[in-house]
Amino acid sequence: MRILLTGRNGQVGSELERTLAPLGEVIATDRTRLNLESEDDTRRVVREARPDVIVNAAAYAAVDKAESEPELAMRVNGTAPGVLGEEAKRLGALLVHYSTDYVFDGEKRSPYTEEDAPNPVSHYARTKLDGERAVAASGCRHLVLRTSWVYGPRAANFYRIIARKAAAGESMRMVDDQTSVPTTSAFLAEQTVALVRKSATGLLHLVPSGEATRYEFARAVVRAAGSTSQVQTARTAEFPAPARRPVYSVLSNRKAAAMLGASLPDWESLLHAAVKTWTRA
């Protein structure tokens, strides 16, 4: 099996390069080799690679910056996945693509299922929803995985901000009015491979079990790090940002768990295991 991976230097892509290896030959690309901003470049790289599976881990992920770079964000998140889908269909390949909990508006107060209607409240979220729809419209075999609050030891993410403060013993204020599911990049990569092995297709929500506010997540990081840092509550309104975030974007993982044949681990146990691993490294 030949697998074309985009975004190899990102926090999810770097994990996927490792976890995909047992499935076959992995052709791992970064932005210098496959520029999703260019339709011609994207088609050329896919046609040269002739993969059986395309895993698109690249994305425009700057939620706030997308408000001031709408066209660039749309090219990468909205248009490029459709181009990959068209090329996947031409080859008879499977396209695995990642989306986000932010496609929902946060008005619900129970976990969102795959059947719930999206209603994005930021430009970033609109581009991600357009990407989902472009993949489906291409007619290729596809697996679209919505996930949330992804973090790992690489790249800039919410976990690393907290971990730096915890290591320095600094106090911090974290919002307690945004709730979702923290997801390690390793979990996402490992479960992606498990789903590919099971020939899963369609739309799935892929997150650990449970839910947390950003405040609860921060406290859990501090505990896992053995830090004495104090964490105080705050409200989102105290930290104005260009892009709106849904206040509740918990995803139900029941469909993915049924496909995998087992319940998925809770986010806090994954956090503690990950911190131990990263500390040893």
Rounded distance, CA 163 to CA 169, Å?
Answer: 10
Structure tokens at 85: 């889908």
263 Cβ neighbours under 8 A, 6+ residues apart: 209, 257
Q: Which residues of 126-138 are buried (b: 16+ CB within 10 A; e: fewer)?
A: bbbbbbbebbbeb
3-class SS of residue 98:
strand
Q: Which of these is catalytic: 102, 124, 151, 248?
A: 124
248 is annotated as an active-site residue: no
Rounded distance, CA 16 to CA 145, Å?
Answer: 14
For residue 147, the Cα-to-chain-centroid distance in whole angstroms is 5
- Look-up: residue for tokens 């730096």? 164
For helices 39-49 and 80-91, what crossing angle results, to 10°? 30
Rounded distance, CA 256 to CA 205, Å?
Answer: 6
Radius of gyration of the CA atoms of the chain, in A: 18
- Look-up: residue for tokens 């806090």? 268
- Nearest partner of 194 among 262, 253, 115, judged by Cα: 262
- Residues known to be catalytic: 124
